[in-house]
Amino acid sequence: MNADTIDIFFWLILAIVAITIGVVGYLLGKQNSTPAVDHTPLLKRLEIENAKLRSDLEVCKKRHTSAEIPKHKSVSISPTSTLSFDAKAAKVALGKKVKKDDLKIVEGIGPKIQGLFHNFDIKTWKALSETSANKCQEVLNSGGKRYRIHDPASWPMQAKMAHEGHWEQLAEWQEKHRAGKF
The predicted-structure confidence for 81-120, as pLDDT tens digits, reads as follows 447 888 899 989 889 999 999 999 999 999 999 999 999 9
- State residue 68's pLDDT score: 58
Confidence category of residue 60, pLDDT binned at 50, 70, 90: confident
DSSP code string of the chain: --HHHHHHHHHHHHHHHHHHHHHHHHHHHHHHPPPPP--HHHHHHHHHHHHHHHHHHHHHHHHHHHHTS-TTS-----TT--PPP-HHHHHHHHSS---TT-GGGSTT--HHHHHHHHHTT--SHHHHHTS-HHHHHHHHHTT-GGGTT---TTHHHHHHHHHTT-HHHHHHHHHHTGGG--
Q: pTM surpassing 0.85?
A: no
63 pLDDT exceeds 80?
no
The percentage of residues in the chain with a pLDDT greater than 70, rounded to a whole number, is: 86
Confidence category of residue 36, pLDDT binned at 50, 70, 90: confident
66 pLDDT exceeds 70?
no
73 pLDDT exceeds 60?
no
Domain ranges of the chain: 85-182
The predicted-structure confidence for 39-59, as pLDDT tens digits, reads as follows 888 888 888 888 878 877 877
